[in-house]
Structure 1
Amino acid sequence: MLHEQIEINEAAVILKLLGDKTRLTMVKILDKQECCVCEFVEIFQTSQPAISQHLRKFRDLDLVKEERRGQWIFYSINKNNELYPLIQQILQFLPSQEFRLKKLEEDGTRISCC
C-alpha cells in the first residue's frame, strides 16, 4: 500500500499521543466502533473530564469525529485524516479491544447514555 509521506513533526505528535495507554486503547476501540464519553468512563473507570481531555487531544488533530445525538456526543475515528494510515499501521499490531465493549453490554452500561 502506497501512502503519502508525512512530516516528521506530525509523526512525532501522533506517536506521542498514542504513547499513552488509555489513548491508544481508545483509538483501537474507535477504529472499530463509535463510543460516547460515558462508555469510556465505564471502560477505564476514570472521570468524565479525564476522558474528555483525551478526546480533545484527538479532536485538536482532527483524528476523531463527533456526532451529536440528543444530549450525547458519539466519537469515531476520522479515517479521512492524513495521519490515519500511520495510525492504522500501528493498530494492526494490537489485540482487539472488543471484549471491553462486550463487558459493557453484559453489565448493562453499553447503552446507558443513549
Structure 2
Amino acid sequence: MSESTVELESTANILKLLGDKTRLTMIKILDSHDACVCEFVAIFKISQPAISQHIRKLKDAGLVRETRRGQWIIYSLSKDSPYYPLVQDLLQHLPAQDFRLKELEEQGLRISCE
C-alpha cells in the first residue's frame, strides 16, 4: 500500500469517528475546555460506560489525551496529533458549545478538578 493510500485511509477513519454527533460535540467542547467523563455524562445525558466508549475511540485515534488530577481523569484535545490541523479546520465551522458547560455550572454540576 502506498503512503498516500494509508494517509487517505487513516483520514477517512478520523472523519468517520467525527461523523458521530456526540464525539464531534465532545471534540468541540475539548477545543476550548478540558473536561472529565462525569461532565460529559451530565451534558449528553447518556451513561458513563457510553461516554467512556466515545472517549476511548477518540483516545485510540490520538485525538484526545488524558491527564490525572488527583482522583479525576481530565480529557483534553491532543494538539500534537497529526490530525489536529484537520480537526481545527473542521471545528472552526461548528457553533460554539460553551453554553453546555455554562448550563452545567448553573446546575452546580461543573466539576472543579483542581
What's the TM-score, normalizing by structure 1? 0.91
1:67-112 CA-partner distances (Å, limit 9, x unpaired): 1112210000001100011111110000000000000000000027
Which residues in structure 2 correspond to 1:22-101 (within 5 Å)? 22-101=22-101
Q: What percent identity do the matched residue pairs reach?
A: 65
CA RMSD of aligned residues (A): 1.6
Q: Which segments of structure 1 move beyond 2 Å, counting only runs of 4 or more? A: none
Which residues in structure 2 correspond to 1:1-12 (within 5 Å)? 7-12=7-12
1:29–1:97 CA contact under 8 A, matched in 2: yes
Gaps of 5+ in 2: none
CA distance in 2, matches of 1:113, 1:41: 16
2:69–2:113 CA contact under 8 A, matched in 1: no
CA distance in 2, matches of 1:91, 1:63: 13
Deviation of 1:30 after TM superposition, in Å, equals: 0.3
Deviation of 1:113 after TM superposition, in Å, equals: 6.7
CA distance in 1, matches of 2:55, 2:111: 19
Alpha-carbon distance change, 7 to 88 in structure 1, aligned in 2, over 3 angstroms:
same
Q: Corresponding residue for 1:14?
A: 14
Secondary structure of 1:109's aligned partner: coil
1:36–1:75 CA contact under 8 A, matched in 2: yes
Q: How many residues align?
A: 110
1:38–1:113 CA contact under 8 A, matched in 2: no
Amino acid at match of 1:38: C
Gaps of 5+ in 1: none
CA distance in 2, matches of 1:38, 1:94: 24
CA distance in 2, matches of 1:53, 1:113: 22
